[in-house]
Each structure stands twice: as C-alpha cells, then as structure tokens.
Amino acid sequence: MQSRETGRTLNRKWGVNAQHALYRENGRWYHVLDRFPGALFDANGYVVFQTEHDFKACAYLSIGEEVNVKHFRGISEMPGYVRVR
C-alpha cells in the first residue's frame, strides 16, 4: 500500500521547515495558510511564504475562504517555486 502525500510529509521529507504546509497534487487550490513560514506544495515542488503579509500580497493567488492559484499550471508558475522532482 502506497502512502498518500501530504503537506506535512513533504515538508519533513524535503526539509522545508514550514510551520504550516499544505498539499494539492495539481497545485491549483488550497486551504488558507495560517501559520508562517508557510508552504504550498504540489506533486513536484513548493513555494514558501515567510510571513502572512507575503502570502496575502502574492499576486498569483486569489485568497478568500480558500486559495485559488490564478495560473492554469498552479504554483509551479510562481516566482520562488522550488522544483524537487
């Protein structure tokens, strides 16, 4: 049985050290980060936000009740994206 990826497991596995880590395989929709530094993960990498201000001011995100990434390909199109796989 293969384990399911989560933000928590990738945060630890990839040594990101975020206080709040969220995962979405396609990198296009997330819950809202509420602890910082925070990170959004997809199947291949991640983006870190050092502060709540950095997160909320990010032009690539539409933040409301949930977070939608404005680009079709998701977080991988964002500056600061770190590709791991």
Q: pLDDT tens-digit profile of 4-60?
A: 899 999 999 999 999 999 999 999 999 999 999 999 999 999 999 999 999 999 999
> Closest Cα to residue 43, out of 73, 85, 81, 8?
85
pLDDT of residue 28: 97
* Biggest distance spanned by C-alpha atoms of the chain: 40
Could you write out the DSSP letters of every residue in 29-73? EE----SSSEEEE-SSEEEEESSHHHHHT-TTEEESSSEEESSTT
**CB 52, CB 14: distance < 8 Å:** no
pLDDT of residue 1: 45
Whole-prediction pTM value?
A: 0.94
Domain boundaries defined on the chain: 7-77
Dihedral (CA of 56, 61, 62, 67) sign = negative
